Amino acid sequence: MGFVDSFGRVHDDLRLSITDRCNLRCAYCMPQDPVWYPHGAILSYEEIERVARIAIAGGVRKLRVTGGEPLVRRDVARLIASLAALPGLSDLSLTTNGVLLASHAKELARAGLRRVNVSLDTLDRDRFAKLTGRDRLTDVLKGLAAAADAGLGPIKINAVLLRGENEAEAIELARFGRERGYEVRFIEFMPLENDHSWDLGRVVSGAMVRRSIAEAWPIVPDPAGDPHAPASRYLYEDGNGAVGFIDSVTAPFCASCTRIRLTSDGKFRVCLYDDKEEDLRAALRGGESDDAIAARMQAALARKGRGGAIDILESKAAIPLARTMHQIGG
Ligand code: SAM
């Protein structure tokens, strides 16, 4: 058995969202006054670990813990330790906004976390406060340094550029990464509707960012780049690391997508853009066997569309979804 869909894509990468709560309020991601899921709706660590174990038995090799903001949930290191102990994993990582990372980094590394991705869209304190609704840039920078000290590398920085807001910061963000050995990845603003503010005009294309970075520092495509990775990876010709581009709008990578997701309220999701979810929470709490739960996951995967049919550039419109990114798990 393996998590293979009807287009032959072998799904080995599971994203586990462990909370919908967040300590920032990035407007492109979530509402300013969110209504959180009640605690009882959120999977326990034991339930999350069970789904991870079933997924690994089905061929998943990479786990990424995300949210919401995963570090706002109590005792994350306990979950990390239980996931790290699962045999068969080739990667265990965490996506965080970095705000609480300074106080967690060592403990997470000790628990078996291998690496972190930190989301950071700006290095300007005022702009950070405006984009995220919170004045926490200093904490994020401390968190990054602590993660590096704790050996949680290679550290990647995820940056979303928005036209008219932080687009001019591409070079500064890239420079920041080059100087510290962090791999910055520029992610196009995706139409996961929240405040109806998405439109193509606000998307800064990866191609544009690539051009301006290449003018500052010549880059070449990484010959060892993973064809299933969403980011196309480039190496700086001067040997100063790498930079990535996730062109999710202008060049969707559905054809090579091998990602599946578990939301914090226990729904299994086979595509960011597909609201049809499988309710694993009901199955877990209803006493179903591991095999039955695996079969539910297989069945959901069999319904996964080819993708690419979502021609965002063609429709120029946001895709209406029941959930926003903070609820799905980025
Ligand atoms: N709180 C954690 C963090 O900030 O990394 C994890 C969850 S957050 C939803 C994961 C990533 O999703 C962040 O890098 C964020 O920038 C990205 N994201 C959220 N909404 C997005 C959108 N509409 N388009 C592109 N990226 C988005």
Tens digit of each residue's pLDDT (9 = 90 or more) over 99-155: 999 999 999 999 999 999 999 999 999 999 999 999 999 999 999 999 999 999 999
Query: What is the predicted pLDDT for the residue at 309?
Result: 45
From residue 34, alpha-carbon distances to 66, 86, 106, 137 in Å are 18, 34, 31, 22
Using alpha carbons, list the distances in angstroms from residue 301 to 18, 243, 267, 282, 290.
21, 32, 13, 18, 17
Q: How far apart are the first and last CA of the chain?
A: 27
Is 95 touching ligand 1 by the criterion CB < 6 Å? yes
Q: What sign has the CA pseudo-torsion 130, 178, 92, 190?
A: positive
Structure-block tokens of residue 105? 């980094």
Beta bridge partners of 14: 63, 260
CB 241 within 8 A of CB 177: yes
For ligand 1, whether the C-beta of 236 sits within 6 Å is: no
Atom of ligand 1 nearest to the CA of 158: 14
- Distance from C-alpha of 55 to C-alpha of 118, rounded to nearest angstrom: 25
Distance (Å) from CA 189 to ligand 1 centroid: 9
Query: Would you state the structure tokens that stand for residue 214, as one six-digit string?
Result: 């290449």
For a pocket test of ligand 1, which of 69, 71, 119 has the largest count of ligand atoms closer than 8 A to its C-beta? Answer: 119
Predicted pLDDT at 233: 96
C-beta 166 within 6 A of ligand 1: no
Q: What is the pLDDT of residue 317?
A: 65
Q: Which residues of the chain have pLDDT under 70?
A: 1, 193-195, 308-320
Contact predicate 107/71, CB 8 Å: no
- For residues 52 and 86, the answer to whether their CB atoms sit within 8 Å is yes
- Ligand 1 close to Cβ of residue 66 (< 6 A): yes
170 lines ligand 1 (CB under 6 A): no
Give the pLDDT score at 226.
82
pLDDT of residue 315: 65
Does any ligand 1 atom lie closer than 6 A to the CB of residue 158?
yes
Query: Which atom of ligand 1 lies closest to the CA of 30?
Result: 20
pLDDT at 152 (0 to 100): 98
Q: How far apart, in whole angstroms, are the C-alpha atoms of residue 147 and residue 155? A: 8
